[in-house]
Amino acid sequence: MPYSADKPTRVRSSEELRAAIPGWGADLDPADRPAYPREHFDPDSTGAHWHLPEQQPGWQERERSIEHARMTPVFGTSAPLHGLSGSIRRVAYRYSEGRAAHWLLLLAGDRVDAATAHLRSFTTTRPDNPLTQTGIASEVRRRGLLSRKGSQRVDVNHQWIDPILVAGPWIAAATAAAAVVRSVIRR
């Protein structure tokens, strides 16, 4: 049973899984695990007094993966879903985690949340400043480009698209604002 100390029951044998999934069972032998020989299964030593933890209140309003039979007993509440991005994320949880629609909707919800946060910042006395908050200045001061040149770092593969992703929304927003101002002036 998930979320409890019980070990899950195996549906297929180890030999069947090893034959079906390349690399499966590489750590099946406890002697091959990094924690060996300290790793041992002893639920009584944890001090937990429950078989299944008590369900945290408010679970009805939370999003839950359809792969799980029930909501996890304990979940985070620090960043509840809100607004349009929350609606998009709720729709994402109607799809299986194995489908691209689930992850693409979560990405879209994240981008909508970021865009609305940028717009919200303009209503404050301290709006977002892309020059100081994105690290562009440190690229010049700390020799960012030179430090990546000729190296095997993974982030070198996507550095060509970083300026587009960071500056693109700001340029698009500035262009749209300029178009609105221009159309208002022409009237």
Name the residue among 88, 86, 89 with its Cα closest to residue 65: 89
Percent of the chain with pLDDT over 90: 26
Q: What is the pLDDT of residue 56?
A: 92
Q: Check: CB of residue 9 under 8 Å from CB of residue 2.
A: no
Count CA within 13 A, CB hemisphere, residue 11.
Answer: 1
- Give residue 105's pLDDT: 97
pLDDT value at residue 103: 96
Q: Which residues of the chain are under the pLDDT cut of 70?
A: 1-3, 8, 10
